[in-house]
């Protein structure tokens, strides 16, 4: 049976024969969408919890801001920030596609439109899949999340994307489904699809001549937390379920004597907070006469990004001045006057460059994060912001920025905890280093050498926390904005932003 399956894989062209020894060490990236560090315990996630003690645990790991899924899928895949890769939010604005509204990057069809409009430049930085292709290797992505998120991880489809609603290469869809079975429908919690992608990985990703790198992305706890809340019984149940699916993978590695043939990196795209707000950004601008209507192109809102027609400086200044006075509004960012400037061009704002969001063509005129505080919800989980809905992410609270990172396998130290800062952009440079593949020049993330068995951090500087503050008066008082960043070895990571009005 095993020989028959291997023959089918080779016939499909999905799995490449690398001409390498079967002793090669491969990598598995595991992402749990919306996983907070305080979700990980011996009771809720016994498999992940055990690995966090047996392998490496990086306790100061960072999501990339905006702390949303497709930004972080793109950031980890390219080893760099939105300033370089060009995906500015979960919703993005490309006037070449639509002049009056943003595009949801969760939908594969929208990404195709963007790619066509930009002559194939959906991402403007080299991705993991492209770096592996240059080295003669492949990447397989398995995902129960959105089709857009799946594509962001392997934008050039070097290898395969296996998703319940998207299998690429499209020419192989029918034959792949004969191997792994038809996908189940999406639910909340998304248990059936979690099980399906896990089985698909065990069939395809663990093949003897399988890809050098696999990535599996579980859409929970994100999906359930959005609906039912942070730490809700259903969210905790969903977390335990995806941990059990990951446990199936660990068991398969043990049974096939592959434990020492795989490095495993576990993380998330972002954390989560409870929402208690009642005001949406687009409606607020319309109600205050700063945007003509929902369909108007004078001002277009895409998530927290505000695009002003013709970059009109008067309109930009009026919008910022109005937002500064609103209690629900947190950090505000605008373009800096010049390169390297950490303050924005409007008083009271910080620059896009201060948060790695200064893309020369795709940045908006204003970027807004909602305000947050440390309040606990009814389930005892801290972190509340003034966005609308039940619960979510996207802001600059530490509850959304700080996420877990666990690494285990032959390339990593054992029983090691690090408090050095790391970020999602550091994952791929580390994987490429472990595989002996040069990182493309566009990758600005660092190799997390402090976690590597043959690494170390001798001669490196100690991390330093640095804050940048700006203020601006308004009719009711003064708006104070502070951005906290941790600097280490020439890299700086965004920790949180705080707003105080007096």
> What percent of the chain is modeled with pLDDT above 90?
92
Give every CB contact of residue 19 below 8 A, 6+ residues apart in sequence: none
In a domain, 184, yes or no: yes
Instruction: Give pLDDT, residue 338.
Output: 94
Instruction: Give pLDDT, residue 3.
Output: 41
Same domain, 488 and 424: no
Measuring CA to CA, how many Å separate 410 from each of 23, 259, 334, 372, 415?
A: 12, 8, 45, 41, 13
Token couple for 431: 């994987």
Residues 70 and 112 sit within 8 Å (Cβ to Cβ): no
Same domain, 411 and 473: no
In a domain, 291, yes or no: yes
Instruction: Give pLDDT, residue 137.
Output: 97
Half-sphere exposure of 444 (CA within 13 A, CB side): 14
Instruction: Give pLDDT, residue 461.
Output: 78
Same domain, 45 and 83: yes
Distance CA 91, CA 71 (A): 10
Distance CA 208, CA 306 (A): 49
Residues 500 and 480 sit within 8 Å (Cβ to Cβ): yes
Give every CB contact of residue 4 below 8 A, 6+ residues apart in sequence: none
Burial of 282 (0-12, 13-18, 19+ CB in 10 A): middle
Burial of 492 (0-12, 13-18, 19+ CB in 10 A): middle
Instruction: Give pLDDT, residue 209.
Output: 85
In a domain, 386, yes or no: no
Same domain, 303 and 412: no
Half-sphere exposure of 495 (CA within 13 A, CB side): 20
Distance CA 49, CA 33 (A): 17
Pairing of strands 213-218, 262-267: unpaired
Residue bearing tokens 């049976």: 1
Same domain, 267 and 317: no
Q: What is the mean pLDDT of residues 138-148?
A: 98
> What percent of the chain is modeled with pLDDT above 70?
94
Nearest CA to 98 out of 83, 109, 114 is that of 114
Same domain, 152 and 195: yes
In a domain, 239, yes or no: yes
Q: Which of 104-108, 144-148, 198-202, 454-458 has the lowest mean pLDDT?
A: 454-458
Three-state secondary-structure class, residue 423:
strand
Same domain, 248 and 126: yes
Q: What is the mean pLDDT of residues 191-213?
A: 96
* Structural domain for 345, as ranges: 280-325+329-370+464-501
Number of folded domains in the chain?
2
pLDDT in tens, 436-445: 999 999 999 9
Distance CA 134, CA 156 (A): 12
Q: Tell whether the model's pLDDT for residue 64 goes beyond 60.
A: yes
pLDDT in tens, 464-492: 999 999 999 999 999 999 999 999 999 99
Token couple for 94: 């490309």
pTM comes to 0.94
Q: Which of 411, 428, 451 is the last residue of a domain?
A: 451
Same domain, 149 and 89: yes
In a domain, 187, yes or no: yes
Distance CA 414, CA 250 (A): 17
In a domain, 382, yes or no: no
Same domain, 85 and 180: yes
Residues 302 and 98 sit within 8 Å (Cβ to Cβ): no
In a domain, 389, yes or no: no
Average pLDDT, the chain: 94
Nearest CA to 91 out of 280, 279, 259 is that of 280
Instruction: Give pLDDT, residue 471.
Output: 98
In a domain, 47, yes or no: yes
pLDDT in tens, 302-326: 999 999 999 999 999 999 999 999 9
Instruction: Give pLDDT, residue 293.
Output: 97
Give every CB contact of residue 70 below 8 A, 6+ residues apart in sequence: 87, 89, 90, 105, 106, 146, 148, 149, 152
When pLDDT is cut at 50, 70 and 90, the band that residue 22 belongs to is low
Q: What is the mean pLDDT of residues 445-468?
A: 87
Token couple for 175: 């034959």
Residue bearing tokens 């980890």: 76
Name the strands in the sheet holding 26-32, side by side, starting at the edge strand that comes first in the sequence. 166-168, 159-163, 139-143, 213-218, 26-32, 262-267, 402-408, 56-62, 416-423
Same domain, 151 and 293: no
Token couple for 434: 């472990």
Q: Tell whether the model's pLDDT for residue 13 goes beyond 50.
A: no
Residue bearing the bigger pLDDT, 56 or 19: 56
Instruction: Give pLDDT, residue 457.
Output: 63
Same domain, 362 and 304: yes
When pLDDT is cut at 50, 70 and 90, the band that residue 130 belongs to is very high
CATH label of the domain that carries residue 179: 3.40.720.10
Nearest CA to 408 out of 21, 6, 39, 48 is that of 48
Distance CA 327, CA 182 (A): 49
Same domain, 53 and 190: yes
Give every CB contact of residue 405 below 8 A, 6+ residues apart in sequence: 57, 58, 61, 265, 266, 267, 422
Distance CA 236, CA 35 (A): 11
């Amino acid at each position: 049976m095993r020989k028959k399956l291997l023959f089918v894989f080779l016939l499909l062209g999905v799995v490449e024969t690398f001409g390498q020894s079967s002793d090669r060490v491969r990598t598995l990236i595991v992402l749990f969408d919306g996983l907070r560090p305080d979700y990980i315990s011996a009771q809720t996630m016994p498999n992940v919890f055990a690995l966090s003690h047996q392998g490496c645990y990086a306790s100061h790991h960072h999501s990339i801001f905006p702390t949303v899924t497709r930004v972080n899928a793109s950031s980890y895949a390219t080893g760099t920030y939105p300033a370089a890769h060009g995906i500015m939010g979960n919703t993005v604005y490309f006037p070449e596609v639509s002049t009056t509204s943003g595009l949801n990057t969760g939908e594969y069809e929208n990404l195709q439109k963007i790619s066509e409009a930009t002559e194939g430049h959906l991402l403007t930085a080299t991705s993991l899949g492209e770096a592996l292709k240059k080295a003669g290797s492949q990447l397989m992505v398995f995902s129960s999340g959105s089709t857009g998120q799946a594509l962001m991880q392997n934008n050039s489809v070097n290898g395969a994307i296996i998703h319940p609603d998207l299998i690429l290469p499209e020419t192989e869809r029918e034959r792949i489904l004969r191997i792994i079975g038809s996908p189940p429908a999406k639910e909340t919690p998304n248990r059936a699809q979690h099980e399906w992608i896990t089985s698909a990985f065990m069939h395809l990703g663990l093949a003897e001549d399988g890809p050098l790198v696999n990535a599996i992305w579980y859409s929970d706890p994100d999906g359930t937390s959005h609906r039912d809340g942070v730490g809700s019984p259903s969210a905790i149940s969903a977390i335990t379920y995806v941990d059990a699916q990951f446990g199936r993978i660990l068991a398969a590695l043990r049974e096939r004597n592959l434990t020492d043939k795989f490095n495993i990196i576990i993380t998330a795209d972002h954390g989560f907070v409870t929402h208690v707000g009642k005001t949406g950004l687009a409606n607020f601008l319309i109600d205050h006469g700063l945007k003509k209507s929902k369909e108007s192109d004078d001002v277009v809102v895409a998530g927290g990004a505000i695009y002003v027609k013709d970059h009109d400086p008067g309109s930009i200044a009026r919008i910022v001045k109005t937002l500064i006075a609103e209690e629900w509004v947190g950090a505000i960012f605008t373009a800096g006057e010049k390169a390297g400037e950490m303050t924005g061009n409007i008083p009271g704002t910080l620059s896009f460059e201060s948060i790695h969001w200064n893309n020369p063509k795709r940045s908006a005129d204003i970027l807004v994060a909602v305000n947050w505080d440390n309040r606990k919800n009814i389930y005892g989980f801290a972190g509340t912001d003034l966005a609308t809905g039940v619960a979510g992410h996207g802001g600059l609270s530490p509850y959304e920025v700080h996420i877990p990172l666990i690494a285990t396998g032959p390339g990593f130290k054992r029983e090691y905890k690090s408090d050095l800062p790391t970020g999602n952009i550091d994952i791929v440079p580390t994987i490429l280093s472990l595989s002996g593949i040069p990182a493309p020049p566009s990758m600005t993330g660092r190799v997390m050498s402090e976690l590597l068995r043959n690494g170390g951090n001798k001669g490196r500087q100690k991390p330093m926390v640095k804050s940048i503050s700006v203020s601006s008066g308004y009719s009711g008082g003064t708006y104070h904005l502070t951005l906290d960043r941790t600097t280490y070895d020439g890299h700086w990571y965004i920790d949180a932003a705080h707003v105080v009005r007096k």
